[in-house]
Chain A
Amino acid sequence: MENRTEKITVATFFNHYGAMKMKKALGPDAVLRPVPRLLSSSCGTCVFVNGKDDALKEILDNADENLEAVYTKDSEKYTNIWKVN
């Protein structure tokens, strides 16, 4: 059997409302979660996007000034793929 892990993209925000708006824009593939401890010592809300190859593009297309960073998650390892200036 093929051992596949689903691609997960995680977007973090400067405030909760930014995460809420992104979740609404991305639809049912997106889930609101607390920011994982591995990503930050702050305790905001982030958006997990499951199984979408073009998640980064979709996040950036819907982004406003509240978006802080975007990561990909591979098992327990997070890789930063976008960050606000």
Chain B
Amino acid sequence: MSKEKRNLIIAGVLIGAVSVALVALGNPKNMGFCIACFIRDIAGATKLHSAAVVQYVRPEIIGLVLGAWIISMATGEFKSRGGSSPMLRFIIGAFVMIGALVFLGCPFRMILRLAGGDLNALVALFGFIAGIACGCFFLSRGFSLGRYYKQNSLEGHALPAVNILLLVLLIAVPSVFAFSEKGPGSMHAAILISLAAGLIVGILAQKTRLCMVGGIRDIILVKDYTLIFGFIFIFVAALIGNLITGNFKLGFEGQPVAQTAHLWNFLGMFIVGLGSSMLGGCPLRQLILAGEGNSDSAVAVLGMFTGAAVAHNFKLVGNATENGPNTYGKVAVIAIIIILLAIAAVRTFKEEK
């Protein structure tokens, strides 16, 4: 077995275990980690949206960025770089977030939901794979958002600095934020535990290049099965953890923070698969790349942050009580798929080669 594969297995097991532990310590069920949900919670806490049940400054997100930032500086891998279609990345980042919030989870939470027995996440997994396959269709025909360039080092440190500021404010003057008093936003582990979990997963993900999209993309594009091992072992570890802690419940109905609207779960994650393939990585990977100096990924993260606010302000998100997104959400999903396909087609077939 290659060293890369072995490291991915170890990282996957540790990340799965950390995710289950976070739920035991206060996070919502099947939500030890959810990049989309947590960025959305931060957007709520900073009052970009006013959905009262999803507002909290999630230290896990801060930890992920800072973990990647610290380890990449320590190992000399921090490189300020960017300039690859920032505006398109912003928009695609926002679309990925809206797709994830229609499903009610990012690819990371999709795995954790599967490991909790939530079969709605299986439907979403098919959508996710279909979206990545669609992205690979364009990638193998010339799709690219353009090359990156070396940038001034301040550019790469900017997003980690913003995260440090968020952390300082959270600890020193939490009253500047809005916090949920009920609902998922009110459920969380202690700040330092969440921060430590984020730092650990951030370091592991930077060292192993763990990516929920990359594993499936590599299988389709180059028939390489290395990266998928991280994905598989997060699932295995979280499944075992959920069985031990009694949080495993197999079925479609009554799953935590979930809906059984199959078509919209499928299409929501189709958007995430397609958009993430175009961005070059899943939402977790965007945070990690942003931490190691990639300002293109930092822009995608800001797009996700904005997309979360848009999704809640315009009520596009999935809805557990009404079992699916409302008409606005459904129209948005269809429109986003059309726009993503149009962007992909233009950047594939209309570029000078």
Q: CB within 8 Å of B: which residues of A? A: 14-17, 20, 32-34, 36-37, 41-45, 65-66, 68
Contacts and interface: CB of A to CB of B under 8 A. Distances in A.
B346 to A, nearest CB: 15
A36 B148 CA distance: 19
Contacts of B224: 33-34
B281 A17 contact: no
B282 to A, nearest CB: 11
B222 interface: yes
A44 B147 CA distance: 12
Contacts of A15: 139, 143-144, 147
B222 A17 contact: no
B221 A17 contact: no
Given A17-B142, A33-B224, A43-B211, A66 B4 contact: no
Contacts of A42: 209, 289
Nearest to A76: B3
Contacts of B206: 41
Contacts of B221: 16, 32, 45
A34 B218 contact: yes
Nearest to A65: B147
Nearest to A17: B142
Interface in B276-295: 280-281, 285, 289, 292
Most chain B beta-carbon contacts within 10 A, residue among A42, A45, A65, A68: A42
3 smallest CB-CB distances across A and B, nearest first, come from A14-B147, A15-B144, A17-B142
Contacts of A45: 221-222
Interface string B1-21: 000100100000000000000
B311 interface: no
A17 B148 contact: no
Contacts of B142: 17
Contacts of A16: 139-140, 144, 221
A41 B292 contact: yes
Interface residues of B, number: 28
B310 interface: no
Nearest to B226: A34
Interface string B224-250: 101100000000000000000000000
A43 B77 contact: no
B352 to A, nearest CB: 10
A20 B214 contact: no
Contacts of B143: 15, 17
Q: Select the residue from A32, A43, A68 with max chain B CB neighbours within 10 A.
A: A43
B72 interface: yes
Interface in B197-214: 206, 208-209, 211, 214
B144 A37 contact: no
A41 B294 CA distance: 11
A68 B148 CA distance: 10
Contact of B4 (A17, A32, A36): A36
Contact of A43 (B72, B144, B209, B292): B209
B147 A43 contact: no
Given A34-B218, A37-B209, A43-B211, A17 B227 contact: no
Nearest to B293: A41
Contact of B214 (A32, A43, A68): A43
Contacts of A33: 222, 224
B72 A41 contact: yes
B350 interface: no
- The CB with the most chain B CB atoms within 10 A, among A36, A37, A41, A65, is that of A41
A14 to B, nearest CB: 4
